């Protein structure tokens, strides 16, 4: 099956695991406690992309899911830079 036609089908347990991984990722890097804000935008953008992947419905195609996750990470990254958080 082609990548463009493959559906993004996840069970509820897999979606929960993605959300758990996003939370652990943020907790592991704890960007709120760094003396400098270097790299904190990337942590939040990565966690946001994971949350988007966990929240997408089953009818979305795999390639569309990947594009949406990357777009969400980009928007979070740019938004944080706009408010002064260094990435």
Q: What does DSSP assign to residue 32?
A: G
CB 22 within 8 A of CB 70: no
Could you give the CA distance from residue 34 to residue 43 in angstroms, rounded to a whole number?
A: 12
Radius of gyration of the chain measured on its C-alpha atoms: 14
pLDDT digits (tens, 9 = 90+) for 21-78: 999 999 998 877 765 666 788 888 999 999 999 999 988 998 899 999 999 999 999 9
Could you give the CA distance from residue 41 to residue 11 in angstroms, rounded to a whole number?
A: 29
**pLDDT at position 35:** 58
Phi, psi torsion values for 53, nearest 5 degrees: -65, -35
Could you give the CA distance from residue 62 to residue 2 in angstroms, rounded to a whole number?
A: 10
| Structural domain boundaries in the chain | 12-82
């Amino acid at each position: 099956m082609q990548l463009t036609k493959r559906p993004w089908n996840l069970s509820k347990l897999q979606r929960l695991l993605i959300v758990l991984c996003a939370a652990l990722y943020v907790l592991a890097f704890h960007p709120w406690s760094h003396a400098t804000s270097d790299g904190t935008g990337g942590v939040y953008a990565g966690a946001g992309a994971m949350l988007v992947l966990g929240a997408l419905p089953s009818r979305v195609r795999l390639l569309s899911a990947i594009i949406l996750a990357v777009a969400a990470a980009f928007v979070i990254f740019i938004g944080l830079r706009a408010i002064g958080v260094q990435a």
